[in-house]
Structure 1
Amino acid sequence: MKIKADTGRCVGAGMCALTLPEVFDQSEDDGTVVVLETEPREDLRTLVNRAVQLCPSGALSVED
């Protein structure tokens, strides 16, 4: 699993960071998503997918 983030689409809502702070954070400059772990552990798959679904701008995706 590999996380992709489109910072150009990100609106800085922070749902990803709230859902899974060990994988996602927000930039201090503009609040856009920062992916801390582009290839997180497999046991985090459910939470990663949840964070992707909660993203209001569709800036996150996952590749298997």
Structure 2
Amino acid sequence: MDPVDNIVNYKIGIIYWNSEDSRLFVPKRERSMGYTINFAHKLNILILISITALVVYTAVYLQ
């Protein structure tokens, strides 16, 4: 069974969290809906900080 299909790997039913899965982007349970982020992956922190910094920069400097 693919770890994505296991409901135990989801927090609050929607956040995929599996530290044993080496993929950063994993397909959603409904494959036709695209991909989601593995929030237990180490690179996830850099991605979230980058997105947050981009949003803050846009809000502050591009009014």
TM-score w.r.t. the length of structure 1 is 0.23
Bigger radius of gyration, 1 or 2? 2
Greater RCO, 1 or 2 (C-alpha within 8 Å, sep 6+): 1
More strand by share: 1
Structure with greater helix share of residues: 2
- With normalisation by structure 2, the TM-score equals 0.23
